[in-house]
């Protein structure tokens, strides 16, 4: 039977941001529930290995385990295996599927969206071959499960994430055939000098560079993947210059290829809750409109972590703490001035580093202009619906570049991933300005058994009992992208 429940604060997502917010709020006495669809808290960054792997190799990031333990000790209700897939008709109640696939309706006086991010792929002929994956998946296998994605691996795309993934693979004895970076962030220049203001990050970068140099891993800058070939598995990759992707520069023999152009915020749930978003012209991402503390245009909703914009784990945790302190202040709790000042200083430092990183690597909007030129009409653009690039180009010519109309006519982006895999590419190939598909129910694939049980119990629905504390009403709702 569908259950109706209510808490002071409901946090969707148990990564660094959600955990940081939960620990601070629960320590102040608020009733807090974390919902996460994974079997363990920690998110991708603090993902813990299987017990069998941990016994042999140890933990990937033991500080993640300590943080989860602190959250549980603070009294946070941690519900793992709980999939948040939508919002009820009242616009406030979260629709959840529990581990037994029973429906749950959960409402918080405050909702914190900490849904993280997903990787930004761009298609090319052969991207559907076995052995072709994203850097994030390779890192998950290598760091958390101690399993290599292949024996001879090429990493490609853009962003600083490629370097630690390469080092994780080297630690497993994998031959890293090379790193193809679409930009030129490692070329000496005035922008690169900005890294000296961040010595900890500079040491981290130097460590990666030294490890790659010892293994003689080639680093090709201003280079992108334009083709993968093979039969039962990828066997070779063709690279080209970023500025001239139709002109091949080399072919690399591999048995695995990991390609990703950074990350995109998962803002679907925030948009479904009625939070206003803006389309970032540099990335094409739908980014929620937020205050410095993460409060959305809907007054009882906060968006934190990577869902608020890509910034890395330290920035995500800082955003989580900022949201928690803002909620506590609204609830009449005394927040130490030293804590606020320390958080503000850390936030400014992290923001400066984020701006430096954004300046060093190519903007996704620029990649969206360059990459489609190497994508032939016959290449599969949307894998879920098997839509070729040529069909999207043809239809886009008749819809005046309206990406949503193009989606409707071609079904590109209408499969199980809801455009998370192909949305950026569909917009680029259609030659539209950066755009994002609208958020649709369900935001994640939901078990049919959950929907059937909801249908059976629908007539018996009742409103949850109100708590004694006053419930804030939304100050205003913006248009979803």
Q: Which residues contact 464 (CB under 8 A, 6 or more apart)?
A: 4, 5, 6, 93, 105, 107
In a domain, 147, yes or no: yes
Residue 371 is predicted with a pLDDT of 92
466 within domain boundaries: no
CATH classification at residue 145: 3.50.50.60
User: 199 is written with which tokens?
Assistant: 């010595």
At residue 54, the pLDDT reads: 78
pLDDT for the residue numbered 459: 55
pLDDT at 479: 32
pLDDT tens track, the chain, 481 positions: 456 778 999 999 999 999 999 999 999 999 999 999 999 999 989 988 877 787 788 777 889 999 999 999 999 999 999 999 999 999 999 999 999 999 999 999 999 999 999 999 999 999 999 999 999 999 999 987 889 999 999 999 999 999 999 999 999 999 999 999 999 998 876 555 566 566 667 788 889 999 999 999 999 999 999 999 999 999 999 999 999 998 899 999 999 999 999 999 999 999 999 999 998 888 888 899 999 999 999 999 999 999 999 999 999 999 999 999 999 999 999 999 999 999 999 988 888 888 888 888 999 989 999 999 889 999 999 999 999 999 999 998 888 778 888 888 999 988 888 888 888 899 899 876 555 677 888 888 899 999 999 988 775 544 444 443 333 333 333 333 2
| Last residue within a domain, chosen from 242, 260, 278 | 260
- Kindly state whether residues 80 and 139 are assigned to the same domain: no
Same domain, 131 and 255: yes
Report the DSSP pairing between strands 103-113 and 301-303: parallel
Residues 130 and 249 in one domain: yes
Tell me how many domains the chain contains: 3
Q: Which DSSP symbol is given to 140?
A: I
Q: Looking at the structure, do residues 128 and 142 belong to the same domain, yes or no?
A: yes
Same domain, 113 and 232: no
Measured CA to CA, the distance from residue 69 to residue 55 in angstroms comes to 19
Separation between Cα atoms, residue 247 and residue 235, nearest integer Å:
20
Q: Are residues 323 and 373 in the same domain?
A: no
Q: Which helix (H) or strand (E) holds 110?
A: strand 103-113
Q: Is the pTM higher than 0.95? A: no
């Amino acid at each position: 039977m569908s259950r109706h429940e209510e808490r002071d604060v409901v946090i969707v997502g148990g990564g660094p941001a959600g955990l940081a917010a939960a620990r601070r709020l629960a320590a102040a006495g608020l009733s807090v529930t974390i919902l996460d669809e994974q079997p363990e808290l920690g998110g991708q960054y603090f993902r813990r290995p299987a017990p069998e792997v941990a016994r042999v190799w140890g933990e990937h990031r033991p500080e993640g385990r300590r943080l989860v333990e602190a959250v549980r000790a603070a009294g946070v209700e941690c519900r793992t295996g709980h999939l948040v897939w939508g919002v009820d008709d009242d616009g406030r109640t979260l629709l959840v599927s529990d581990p037994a696939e029973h429906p749950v309706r959960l409402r918080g006086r405050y909702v914190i969206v900490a849904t993280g991010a997903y990787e930004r792929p761009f298609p090319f002929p052969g991207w559907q071959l076995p052995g072709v994956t994203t850097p994030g998946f390779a890192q998950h296998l290598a760091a958390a499960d101690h399993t290599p994605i292949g024996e001879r691996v090429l990493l490609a795309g853009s962003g600083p994430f490629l370097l630690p993934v390469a080092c994780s693979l080297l630690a497993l004895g994998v031959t890293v055939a090379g790193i193809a970076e679409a930009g030129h962030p490692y070329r000496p220049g005035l922008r690169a000098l900005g890294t000296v203001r961040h010595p900890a990050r500079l040491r981290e970068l130097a460590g990666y560079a030294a490890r790659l140099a010892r293994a003689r891993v080639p680093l090709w800058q201003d280079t992108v993947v334009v083709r993968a070939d093979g039969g039962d598995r990828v066997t070779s990759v063709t690279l080209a210059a970023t500025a001239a992707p139709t002109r091949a520069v080399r072919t690399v023999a591999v048995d695995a290829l990991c390609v990703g152009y950074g990350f995109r915020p998962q803002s679907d749930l925030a948009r479904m809750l009625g939070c206003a978003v803006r389309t970032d012209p540099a990335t094409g991402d739908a980014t929620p409109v937020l205050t410095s503390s993460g409060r959305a245009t809907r007054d009882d909703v906060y968006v934190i972590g990577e869902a608020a914009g890509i910034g890395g784990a330290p920035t995500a945790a800082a955003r989580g703490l900022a949201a928690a302190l803002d909620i506590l202040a609204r609830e009449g709790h005394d927040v130490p001035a030293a804590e606020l000042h320390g958080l503000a200083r850390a936030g400014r430092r992290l923001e400066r580093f984020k701006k430096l990183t954004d300046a060093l690597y190519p903007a996704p909007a620029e990649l969206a202009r360059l990459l489609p030129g190497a994508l032939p009409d016959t290449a599969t653009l949307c894998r879920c619906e098997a839509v070729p690039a040529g069909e999207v180009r043809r239809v886009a010519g008749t819809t005046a570049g309206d990406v949503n109309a193009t989606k409707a006519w071609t079904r590109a982006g209408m499969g199980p991933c809801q455009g998370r895999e192909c949305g950026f590419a569909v917009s680029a190939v259609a030659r539209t300005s950066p755009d994002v598909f609208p958020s649709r129910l369900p935001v994640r694939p939901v078990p049919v058994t959950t929907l059937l049980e909801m249908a059976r119990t629908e007539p018996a629905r009742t409103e949850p009992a109100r708590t004694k504390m006053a419930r804030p009403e939304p100050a205003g709702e913006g248009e979803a992208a």
